[in-house]
Amino acid sequence: MGMVDMFGWKNKATEMNRRTVEMTGAYDGGLGLQTHGLMAGTRVASNLGWRAIEALAVGDQVLTFDNGMQEIVEIRRKVFFLDAPETDRAIWPVTVPAGAMGNREELTLLADQGVLIESDAAADRHGDPFAVLPARSLAGVRGITRTAPAQQIELIAVYFAAEEVIYAEGGALIHCPTRSTPLDAMMNGVVPSYDVMGAEDAAYLAQALVMEDQMFAAAAHV
């Protein structure tokens, strides 16, 4: 039995077409400005079980959405919100309540952290039900909010040999870009695995999630 089957999680069908990345100013692969990673204390699915991300080391393996267990090849750490609680509203983190994105515990994410969502609207618009949205675009969906940070937070970003999506806190799907920038990847002919939505498409899909939830709730009531 595979790891995903054992935990009862969904994963992306292997026959799904690979996709292209929409470049945005907010997404730079994590080199010039680190825009992704998980806060210390966030647990991820690994070969050692559910482990706090700060307890992982290079060489440990993490369960990915596409490719099973993959080895960590690099870890970067950075302290964010040094001016908390006076942090500029534009970079406030995103609070994801338990259950909103498959997570069993509350998550705090950077505003530009990519989250993989599944939506009929994504399938209709892009031919693929899976897309990566920046966490900031999900504010207002399923109780997700943006809140001023109360204190400094250590952020840990893990990298693999290729772009991956990992499981956090029971099932939230967190995008982990490659160590190279999108421009470098393009120059080297690397085909990205996931759509990373720009602001307009992300806002559209976030609103579509709200409408889909309302439709499911109405159907359940009937």
pLDDT at 218: 85
Find the angle CA(211)-CA(217)-CA(222) to the nearest 5 degrees: 130
Instruction: Report the distance separating Cα 170 and Cα 97, nearest Å.
Output: 13
Indicate the helix (H) or strand (E) that contains 205. Answer: helix 199-221
Dump pLDDT digits (tens) for 168-208: 999 999 999 998 655 555 555 556 678 789 999 999 999 99
Residue 79 or residue 9, greater confidence: 79
**Which ranges in 103-172 belong to alpha helices (H)?**
120-126
40 with 51: CB under 8 angstroms?
Answer: no
Quick count: other Cβ atoms within 10 Å of Cβ 147? 12
**pLDDT for residue 24:** 32
Could you tell me whether strands 38-39 and 153-159 are parallel, antiparallel, or unpaired per DSSP bridges?
A: antiparallel
Share of the chain above pLDDT 90, in %: 67
**Residue 202 to residue 84: CA distance in whole angstroms:** 27
Read off the pLDDT band of 152 (50, 70, 90): very high
pLDDT, position 65 = 96
Which pLDDT does position 15 carry in this prediction?
Answer: 38
Question: Taking the mean position of all CA atoms in its chain, how far away is CA 161?
Answer: 17
Q: What is the percent of the chain with per-residue pLDDT over 70, rounded to a whole number?
A: 78
- pLDDT tens figures, 12-70: 544 343 333 333 333 333 333 678 999 999 999 999 999 999 999 999 999 999 999 99
Classify residue 30 as left (phi > 0), alpha (psi -120 to 50) or beta: left
Q: Measured between alpha carbons, how far is 125 from 123 in angstroms, rounded to an integer?
A: 6
- What pLDDT is stored for residue 48 in this prediction? 92
Sheet containing strand 145-146, strands side by side = 107-109, 94-96, 145-146
Token code pair at residue 182: 């999108």
Q: Which of 137, 133, 158 is nearest to 52 (CA)?
A: 158
Strands 38-39 and 172-176: unpaired
Residue in 30, 49, 40, 39 with CA at minimum distance from that of residue 160: 30
Handedness of CA 72, 184, 66, 164 (dihedral sign): positive
Q: What is the pLDDT of residue 30?
A: 35
Separation CA 85–CA 92 (nearest Å) = 10
Rounded Cα–Cα distance for residues 116 and 15 (Å):
18
CA-to-CA dists, residue 41 to 52, 56, 76, 92, angstroms: 5, 11, 15, 19
